[in-house]
Amino acid sequence: MVNQRAPVWPQRSQYTLGAHHVTYCWLWLLLVGLWGGCLWALPAGARPLPAGLFVSDEPLTVAVLPPDIADDVGGVTSEGLLAALEQALAREGLEVVPRAQVFAAVPAGRPLDFNPTCTAAQALGARVGSEGYVLVRLRRGERSLSDRQTIVGGTLHLFAVETRTGQLVASEHVDFIEGKEGFLPAVAAGIEAAAQRFASDWRRVRGQTPGMGCAAGGDGADEVLDLRDGVLPPGVTAPVPLVRARPEPTGLARAAGVTATVMVEVCVGRDGQVREVAVVRWAGYGLEAAVEKALRAVRFRPALRQGKPVAAWFVAAFNFRSSPADDR
């Protein structure tokens, strides 16, 4: 018969506090609880921010750039579309740059780049003088239905860019079919939703500190080679994918017939895993996420220096070509 003995636990000194110490602890906990409750009773904007996060009280300035309109039917004016977008952004508490100031920096009719590098996007926002801006593209036309009826519709493409980083922070694509009321009523709800999302995302990134780091992987060594200029130092080989990354165009990109290039800076650790992906040329339509997903699914032979693995940054570019016919 096995003699089961109760386990002997290390003795803990649980009752060494005097009564006055216990009273002080309870009072301290009570005060902390009351202080937290008072904070949550305050309006959201009046609560103190977590340490390390800074959000400016200054109004966030944004601009709507001259739209790129392809209107096979006719009747949609830049002025009407701009006014609708500017008013929607203003209702979100954003300070909209006067149109005259925008047009002085970017005259109407000048082609805008919807597939820019982040450096070019930064320069454009700086020229306009805003913290963020919206690129607008409208494609509108007629379509015949099977019952020989004709409808007017299309897609309104909106891209929100942050000037500080040149990054695309959000995009909206509003598909519409017009009724008797016409174009603006058909897209009004989509414009309001886009303005809400853009305002939220601009404010979110405004409080962030841009930066780029790379965990080397392996045993924790932190040395990282910078091969982004394409020049290999003596004795160094660049990372090589064991299987080629093949990002697929998104349904949005196919539907819009997008032809674009997405360029990224990639950091591969010593273990061959992708550690960081930073977009340096964007196109929207979810293509940046498609590129990152494809890269992170691939294992690399890491960079080598004198035959030893080392983490490294390099640049990769992916070309997308699609047409609306691809979805048929």
Mean pLDDT, residues 68-81 taken together: 95
Residues 214-248: pLDDT tens digits?
655 554 556 899 999 999 999 999 999 999 999 99
- Which range among 8-22, 145-159, 198-212, 242-256 shows the weakest confidence by mean pLDDT? 8-22
Q: Flag whether the pTM goes above 0.85.
A: no
Supply the pLDDT for residue 32: 38
Mean pLDDT, residues 162-190 taken together: 96
The percentage of residues in the chain with a pLDDT greater than 90, rounded to a whole number, is 71
Residues 119-150: pLDDT tens digits?
999 999 999 999 999 999 999 999 888 777 88
What is d(CA 152, CA 243) in angstroms, rounded to the nearest whole number? 45
Supply the pLDDT for residue 11: 37
Query: Is the model's pLDDT at 19 over the cut of 50?
Result: no
Supply the pLDDT for residue 199: 98
CA dihedral over 126, 127, 130, 132, signed as positive or negative? negative
The percentage of residues in the chain with a pLDDT greater than 70, rounded to a whole number, is 77
pLDDT level of residue 40 (50, 70, 90 thresholds): very low
Query: Is the model's pLDDT at 6 over the cut of 50?
Result: no
pLDDT level of residue 212 (50, 70, 90 thresholds): low
Q: What is the three-state SS of the chain? A: CCCCCCCCCCCCCCCCCCHHHHHHHHHHHHHHHHHHHHHHHCCHHHCCCCCCCCCCCCCCEEEECCCEEEECCCCCCHHHHHHHHHHHHHHCCCEECCHHHHHHHCCCCCCCCCCCEHHHHHHHHHHHCCCEEEEEEEEEEEEECCCCCEEEEEEEEEEEEECCCCCEEEEEEEEEECECCEHHHHHHHHHHHHHHHHHHHHHHHHCCCCCCCCCCCCCCCCCEEECCCCCCCCCEECCEECCCCCCCCCHHHHHHCCEEEEEEEEEECCCCCEEEEEEEECCCCCHHHHHHHHHHCCCEECEEECCEEEEEEEEEEEEEECCHHHHC
Supply the pLDDT for residue 248: 93
